[in-house]
Amino acid sequence: MNLPLQEGAPLRGVRILDMATVLAAPFSATLCGDMGAEVVKLELPAGGDPLRGLTPVHEGHPLFWKTANRGKKGISLDVRKAEGRALFLKLIAGFDVLVENFRTGTLDGWGLDMAALHQANPRLIVLRLTGFGQTGPYARRPGFARIFEAMSGFTHLTGEPGGPPQHMNYPLGDVVAGLFGAFAISTALAERNALPREAQKGAEIDLSATEAMARLLDPLAAEHRIGGVVRERTGSRATYTAPSNVFRSGDGVWFTLVGTGGPIFARICRAIGREDLLADARFADNAARIRNLEALDALIADWCASRSFAELTAPLEREDVPYSKVYSIADLQADPHMRARGAFIDLPDEQFGAVPAPAPVPRFVGRESMRPPATGPRTGQHNREVYGELGLCDSQLDSLREAGVI
């Protein structure tokens, strides 16, 4: 469950009710929880959130659920039932933010439209995260990360030239939307809380996950409409700066190398012992290097293939060239810099004792470090605590449980 308020927590005192499923919207609430908000996770009494079944699941225990919903209290409630709806409206009066990701119109059909929510709590901020937004012809379509990635244009850029578009082996579209969700919540809180309490009003946030992915691709619309160019797949090679590609050492280590700008290109030339390239008209500036990037990449690739990765690192570091081995998660956790920074933390857990996970980002300098939150809760784990704060006694909770309301 959430830890007591900590002085170093920027969102301390903020209460968020997360009734969303799977990953995008819940990730928004989790990120706010990392910053000190109290987050309560609401599920149906029988559970059933698909995230509990997504890999990794170890010995029947859902690691994805445990890490993605870290730091949250867990309650169960069926808002589709009349008693559940009444209890929900009583509950929501004590929260600052509601996070939901049902298809457009679903909450309205349960009698929980914005008018009802704001009647119960006029200061309530509601994050509505869907695949395509609350309006438009696609508003009621189901949405998943790969749909957002494909429709936004992101997947079109990923893959080898002439090959099929590719998705990465992780729901990037969900977590990007979650980042925008956390930003939206923080923005709405800043706007609301800048006013005297008696003047504070709630807000409805309409967040489209597809639009969130498209927002990352800043210049592509201008490149197309003004320049007539549709950017295509180029493998790992960048076509906006050169050299910038993934190379392989003679002993089989993949690494990325970036040479944005003339000074860095000069350092690369010195590192590979080819200062003569600085006088080569083909590589005179970035535009020229882009026109001749295949030849440039081939020169660098040949140099890399003739040396082991250990032999490559000395001249690259001597010349301060930006490069990195392509890390696996094992490499990342073992890296001395990441270890020195404490980039991974152990979440206290009932089954495993501790579950490793990324540390909160960002850090607020000069403040006391936050204590690690516990892993995601069991369904209804904190029912008695949360509903007890509303004045419900054990016998009332037992009756609601028997009726399938909680």
Give me the count of residues in the chain: 406
Phi-psi region of 110 (alpha: psi -120 to 50; beta: other; left: phi over 0): alpha
3-state helix, strand, coil in the chain (%, to 5): 40, 15, 45
Token reading at 109? 């059909």
Q: Contact at 8 Å (CB) between 249 and 309?
A: yes
Q: Contact at 8 Å (CB) between 209 and 177?
A: yes
User: Among all residues, which ones are annotated catalytic?
Assistant: 174
Tell me how far apart the alpha carbons of residues 65 and 60 are, in angstroms, rounded to a whole number. 12
Tell me how far apart the alpha carbons of residues 221 and 163 are, in angstroms, rounded to a whole number. 23
| Bridge partner list, 204 | 126
Question: φ, ψ for residue 278 (rounded to 5)?
Answer: -65, -20
Tell me how far apart the alpha carbons of residues 32 and 352 are, in angstroms, rounded to a whole number. 25
Beta strand 203-208 with 125-130: parallel, antiparallel or unpaired?
Answer: parallel
| C-alpha distances out from residue 188 to 30, 101, 105, 210, 227, Å | 17, 18, 22, 21, 37
Strands in 131-272 per DSSP E: 203-208, 244-248, 254-258
Q: Contact at 8 Å (CB) between 352 and 371?
A: no
Question: φ, ψ for residue 144 (rounded to 5)?
Answer: -140, 165
Q: What is the dihedral sign for C-alpha 17, 23, 24, 28?
A: positive
Token reading at 132? 């395509």
Per the omega criterion (within 30 degrees of 0), is the bond before 243 cis?
Answer: yes
Token reading at 338? 């990441």
The amino acid present at 79, given as its one-letter code, is V
The amino acid present at 160, given as its one-letter code, is E
